[in-house]
A and B are shown apart, each in its own frame.
Chain A
Amino acid sequence: MMMLSIKDAVGLGIAIAGLLLFLTSFLIVQSQPLAAMGIGVIVSGLSVVLTPLHVAPKRALRESLVVFSKNLDAILESLNVKGKAIYTWINSKPLLMIPLRSRSVSIPPSCNLGLEVIGGEPYLCLEPPLPGAEVSEGKTDEHALTLSEYLVERISAAASASYTRSGNVVVATISYPKLPLSPGRMSVATGSLPSLLAGVLISSEIRESLVFLEERFVNNSLIATFEVISK
């Protein structure tokens, strides 16, 4: 069931008040100016309802993600990255850590954004982009959107998105992804853009750190596999 945002509730409330004003003034009081005012209030309320909560269009959000993935792909290629991405979170903020040399399964306690050597291992630490997730309806945590809420509802980047967890393995299934699948270095290190977003969102949702394992494309669905690791 679609959740009613505060803005929509206020708009509907105004429209209903306008309807009551119209009915009362038209049928009981029989005052044309008041009836017109009632219709004016209805229109004003519905105008609030029709106003989008998110101003940025979904297509623009998807495009910004594509630009991010192209840049990341180029960086990973130039750094000759061999490691697998770690999706983690610090203070409710998602963090993407990519070990540059080898697959690392230990997570450093902190990582400054950019290139950093932690325990002799060079990492590329990024704050993954979630454009449009800053304002989530009725939620206080700015990164509290689930995989489906973000990929399907917020940016319309897939027909459906879900994940299952079995022990330490998390499998995300993204049907009919609209975002391009990266053929470059990104597909090895972080997975394609939908997989990257899945890793970020699932990690934030389950409050666990994930390591990207692999991704497959089966029957118009992208299946990304992650391993849950402890901090």
Chain B
Amino acid sequence: MRALLFNAILPLGYGLIVMGLSFLGESRLDVYLSLLTLWYFVLYLIIRPPRRTYDLLGLGLLAMFFYFVTLRILSIIFT
């Protein structure tokens, strides 16, 4: 039941996030991906869906999030 709820709400939220940011005129991919990652973890912590193994997807999203954060910090430092 929790897995079904998670798998149903996750893409729904993604759709709303992308539509919302697109409506606001956002054109940076890292902003989109950061919010998608944030939504994944918020939902994951609230619903706690069962996982077959370790949450590799969450790890991947987190790695991607830190990659973009690092790029952003570096661009601030060196500009």
- Whether A47 contacts B29 in the complex (CB less than 8 A), given A33-B22, A40-B14, comes out as no
CB pair A40–B18 under 8 Å, yes or no, is yes
Inter-chain CA distance A55–B2, complex, in Å, is 10
Q: Which residues of B contact A55 (CB under 8 A)?
A: 3, 50
Chain A minimum-CB-distance residue to B44: A47
- In the complex, what's the smallest C-beta–C-beta distance from B54 to chain A, in angstroms? 9
Q: Which residues of A contact B51 (CB under 8 A)?
A: 50-52
Q: Which residues of A contact B10 (CB under 8 A)?
A: 43-44, 47
- Which residues of chain B (1-41) have a CB below 8 Å from chain A? 3, 6-7, 10-11, 14-15, 17-18, 21-22, 26-29, 32-33, 36, 40
In which size bucket is the chain A interface? 10 to 19
Inter-chain CA distance A44–B32, complex, in Å, is 15
CB pair A51–B52 under 8 Å, yes or no, is yes
| Chain A residues with a Cβ under 8 A of chain B | 26, 32-33, 35-37, 39-41, 43-44, 46-48, 50-52, 55
| Chain B residues with a Cβ under 8 A of chain A | 3, 6-7, 10-11, 14-15, 17-18, 21-22, 26-29, 32-33, 36, 40, 49-53, 55-57, 61
